[in-house]
Chain A
Amino acid sequence: MRVMIADDAVLFREGLARVLLAGGIEVAAQVGDAEQLLARVRADPPAAVVVDIHMPPTHTREGLEAAQRIRADHPQVGVLVLSQYVEPHHAVQLLQDGAGGVGYLLKDRVADVNEVVDAVRRVAAGGSVIDPEVVAQLVGRRRTRDPIQELTERERQVLALMAEGRSNQAIGERLFLSPKTVEAHVHSIFTRLDLRAAPDDHRRILAVLAFLRA
């Protein structure tokens, strides 16, 4: 699998490239800004790109906008956006644009080699990835009337993993549950939170995030 990395911090992108390489992922290009990234993607679309949200020249939304452009122009290219801040707003914005294949990860998450490689593979495969920290902030949010408090501990774990973009199978593997048990939990959660069942993983994550942010 081939990916491209865009980050203006050279040391970081070198390190990231090594991590990905160690995870069996070929890094086809390392660039320092959004313009170069777009050019490289146009020339030879990779399976996925890893983009820092802050890049020159203004260090505000360049990475985010590049990610959205790539999702629009090359739907087959997965996009993983890295940020130093926990901002659900950006995560939801990314997800809302397409039908999966996007991820929003905290930058320091790359310390866990397995996690970053897993995230890249998931977006490349058209899945969605939301950083556990972001999900934790949303789930932990104080609510006046909080239906989440009515969920069981196990259901809350399943809810968080759904919000991170995990499939039922992945949730089962993580929590050592059978697929049938996971499905039962999911059904129970949707009923208790008064959510309509989603036809696919992408719409499921959107529905869950919308509920958590409301």
Chain B
Amino acid sequence: MRWLRPALALAALAAGLVNLTLIARAGDAQPRSLLYLVIAIVGVSWSFVAVGLVAWSRRPDNHTGALMVAVGLAYALPGLRLVHSPAGYTLYLLTATLPSAVLAHLIAVFPDGRATSRLQRVFIVANYATTVPLAFAQLLLVDPRRLRCPECPPDLLGTGGQHPFGEAVMAVSDLWDVVLAGLLLWIVVSRWRRAPAPRRRGLAPVVQVAVVLLVLFGVRQALRAVLSPPPPWLDGALDLAVLTTLMLWPLAFLAGLARSRLDRLAVGDLAIELEQAPSPDRLQQALARALHDPTVQLAYWLPGQQAFVDEAARPVELPPAGGGRSVTILRHDGDTVAALVHDAALDDEPELVQAVAATARLTIENQRLQAEVRAQLEEVRASRARIVEFGDAERRRVERNLHDGAQQRLVNLSLALGIARSQVPAGADGELAAALDEAAEELRLAIAELRELARGIYPVILSEAGLGPALASLAERSPIPATVAAAPADRLPAKIEETAYYVASEALANAAKHARATAVTISARRCDRGLEVEVGDDGVGGANPDGSGLRGLADRVAALDGHLRVDSPTGRGTRITAELPCGS
């Protein structure tokens, strides 16, 4: 129905022109105040239709625009009063309450365009169901000429006389208007109270005008009911005030739209803020400011995990639809980049959300990549720690198996051999004794070799007595002179002790193998962060930190979140330092 809106616009224009023509023709036949009123009514009619059509085209799915057009058209009807004939006047009286009824409907459902609560629905039904019948009853029972309009023509349905209930019916109708206005005021104010911050910005001008309008209308109707009739100057002034306020309503609506548009212009500020490559925290604050929603939350998409996470890589659960929270998915080339979780009120302003999202997209994507890298790093760190821990556990297990298995069996064997040897009678069979002695010696060497092998796999003294004795034992076995300058007297977590031991052991082996050192000093000291192990030699220096031994040590130390430094200037010895945090 592409023609519908232009047709409605034309109809409103025509009705307004008819009204203005009637005014021109009326001349002095009508009181001047009435002419002013009709001019004001034409203004109301046109402004509602014009702004209503704008709103309609902007949001076809929202009935607010259509309702505004309906209000505008309804306000063309009171001009009928100027048709100086009983038929015109009768029609005027019949439709006199329609404009305010439609207006009440509009105010009640603004800005959603439809009733969303029971109270709203009840109000709308009560509004239409009572105002029109009451107007009809008045028409039947009251001769308006007697009461308010002595110069008006007679109406077709009137009894011509004054019905005894006439005044009572009019008073009831006016009081009912006061009740409806009060109810509507309640609806408007309570919705304002419940509205979240982003929505209030758009609502504010319209709500303010509506409140003034309803108060003025309520006062006018109350005075009519109580004073019946009030002095014409007072009634006329209130009429004019109501209509003037009414004309402001579409303007307030436009102001609300302009505010949203200004918000979109303010997205430029966001762009400037993003220039500084803000931290994830500040980015979120900037988005909250740009969207006027302090509850905005940014969730980055991790394709690897198929999950949304926050800036600290913690999982984020997106809220379900229709719970007051809304989600806008940000995409780049069709791929999900992030999600903006915001107040559902912002769904009224998709342009603003899109503008903010487009502006922040690069920064957000950047942050998302960072979040992804952080998550992967965390994963790698954890897996490296697991690998090292698994390796250490495996070493302990192998050592234990050797100790309880092969070593113990060989010891039993040497014991059996010793018993056998002791049973050879002295001086009896020299050959047997010699063979047994030879076997015992071979076995002793085998046990000694196995002992060294097991010790190399895992030094039991480390778990039995701690780092100090283990380092002392290491130094005592060292093929080059080694001394332990310092070692903690107390016990540390096993993985710290093990890593510290392997650092010293590997550094010592390097010094012996490659450095041509003549002395090595090992020290392990408690420091602020945890433990610092230092192994220094007086060798030729020039150690390659990326050699497999040192590289492996660096990895092992990094698995505990520690640092390994290799300081090895050519000709001036090598110093290897490992910092091991104890907190991990």
In the complex formed, the residue of A with least CB distance to B461 is: A87
Interface: B2 (CB within 8 A): no
Q: Which of B403, B421, B451, B464 contacts A86 (CB 8 A)?
A: B451
Interface: A195 (CB within 8 A): no
Q: Give min CB distance, B399 to chain A, whole Å.
A: 10
Q: Which of B422, B448, B472, B480 contacts A142 (CB 8 A)?
A: B480
Interface: B469 (CB within 8 A): yes
In the complex formed, the residue of A with least CB distance to B417 is: A111
Looking at the complex, which of B38-46, B94-102, B182-190, B404-412 is the stretch in contact with chain A? B404-412
Looking at the complex, which of A13-21, A164-172, A197-205 is the stretch in contact with chain B? A13-21
Q: Whole-angstrom distance between the alpha carbons of A90 and B460 in the complex? A: 12
Q: Whole-angstrom distance between the alpha carbons of A18 and B422 in the complex? A: 11
**Contact size class for A?**
20 to 34
Q: Which of B407, B414, B469 contacts A110 (CB 8 A)?
A: B414
Decide: B421 and A113 in contact? CB cutoff 8 A: yes
Interface: A192 (CB within 8 A): no
Q: Give min CB distance, B515 to chain A, whole Å.
A: 14
Decide: A15 and B419 in contact? CB cutoff 8 A: yes
B-side contacts of A142, CB under 8 Å: 478-482
Q: Which of A19, A60, A88 contacts B418 (CB 8 A)?
A: A19
Q: Whole-angstrom distance between the alpha carbons of A88 and B477 in the complex? A: 11
In the complex formed, the residue of A with least CB distance to B459 is: A85
Decide: B400 and A59 in contact? CB cutoff 8 A: yes
Q: Whole-angstrom distance between the alpha carbons of A138 and B475 in the complex? A: 10
| Most chain A CB within a 10 A radius of its CB, from B415, B451, B518, B519 | B415
B76-87 toward A: CB 8 Å interface, digit per residue (1/0)?
A: 000000000000
Q: Give min CB distance, A60 to chain B, whole Å.
A: 5
Q: Whole-angstrom distance between the alpha carbons of A71 and B361 in the complex? A: 76
Which residues of chain B from 458 to 510 have a CB within 8 Å of any chain A CB? 460-461, 463-465, 469, 472-473, 476-482
Decide: A141 and B422 in contact? CB cutoff 8 A: no
Q: Whole-angstrom distance between the alpha carbons of A89 and B460 in the complex? A: 12
Interface: B444 (CB within 8 A): yes
Q: Which of A11, A19, A85, A143 contacts B422 (CB 8 A)?
A: A19
Decide: A89 and B480 in contact? CB cutoff 8 A: no
Interface: A40 (CB within 8 A): no
Interface: B34 (CB within 8 A): no
Q: Which of B403, B473, B478 contacts A84 (CB 8 A)?
A: B403
Q: Whole-angstrom distance between the alpha carbons of A61 and B465 in the complex? A: 8
In the complex formed, the residue of A with least CB distance to B478 is: A142
Interface: B20 (CB within 8 A): no
B509-529 toward A: CB 8 Å interface, digit per residue (1/0)?
A: 000000000110000000000
B-side contacts of A85, CB under 8 Å: 451, 454-455, 460-461
Q: Give min CB distance, B213 to chain A, whole Å.
A: 86
Interface: B382 (CB within 8 A): no
Decide: B444 and A108 in contact? CB cutoff 8 A: yes
Q: Whole-angstrom distance between the alpha carbons of A88 and B471 in the complex? A: 12
Decide: A111 and B479 in contact? CB cutoff 8 A: no
Interface: B169 (CB within 8 A): no
Decide: A22 and B455 in contact? CB cutoff 8 A: no
Decide: A89 and B461 in contact? CB cutoff 8 A: yes
Contacts A142-B479, A142-B481 given; indicate if A111 touches B414 (C-beta within 8 A): yes
Q: Give min CB distance, B420 to chain A, whole Å.
A: 10
B-side contacts of A152, CB under 8 Å: none
In the complex formed, the residue of A with least CB distance to B440 is: A111
B-side contacts of A137, CB under 8 Å: 476-477
What 13 additional pairs, Cβ within 8 angstroms, besides A61-B464, A89-B469, A213-B472?
Answer: A15-B412, A18-B419, A60-B464, A84-B407, A89-B461, A108-B411, A108-B444, A110-B414, A110-B415, A110-B418, A111-B444, A138-B476, A142-B479
List 23 A-B pairs, Cβ < 8 Å: A9-B412, A18-B419, A19-B415, A19-B418, A54-B403, A59-B404, A60-B464, A61-B465, A86-B451, A88-B476, A89-B465, A89-B469, A89-B473, A107-B411, A110-B411, A110-B414, A113-B419, A138-B476, A142-B479, A142-B480, A142-B481, A144-B519, A213-B476
